[in-house]
Amino acid sequence: QVQLVESGGGLVQPGGSQRLSCTASGSIYTITVMGWYRQAPGKQRELVASITSGGSANYADSAKGRFTISRDSAKNTVYLQMNSLKPEDTAVYYCNARGILSIHNAWGPGTLVTVSS
């Protein structure tokens, strides 16, 4: 029943920065993990970064050193600060929220990030 709303996608030049936001609402369960996934054209969906309620963050190797995930647990909001963007970062970015049970797993509709000059 949880709904996710994403924002921040768009066109950015290589080397530039972009900040994505995702807010969960209507949740009947406690969200324990929020994260960002992405799917590039012709590629499989992959984890970019995730963060737990306790603040533990996990990053894909491609994101380490460039991306930073943060969370406002009280508002069930997660952010993804993306720096030094590369053309290969171009993808649809999906917000994800999970609870304790496996059935508590929600996805946002996705937001397109295009890195191009």
Confidence at residue 15, expressed as pLDDT on a 0 to 100 scale = 98
Confidence of residue 27 (pLDDT cuts 50, 70, 90): low
Evaluate if residue 29 carries a pLDDT over 90. no
Flag the least confident range among 4-18, 37-51, 93-107: 93-107
pLDDT of residue 28: 60
pLDDT (0 to 100) of residue 75: 84
pLDDT of residue 73: 80
Average confidence (pLDDT) over 76-86: 96
Average pLDDT in the chain: 94
Contact between 66 and 82 under an 8 Å Cβ cutoff? The reply is yes
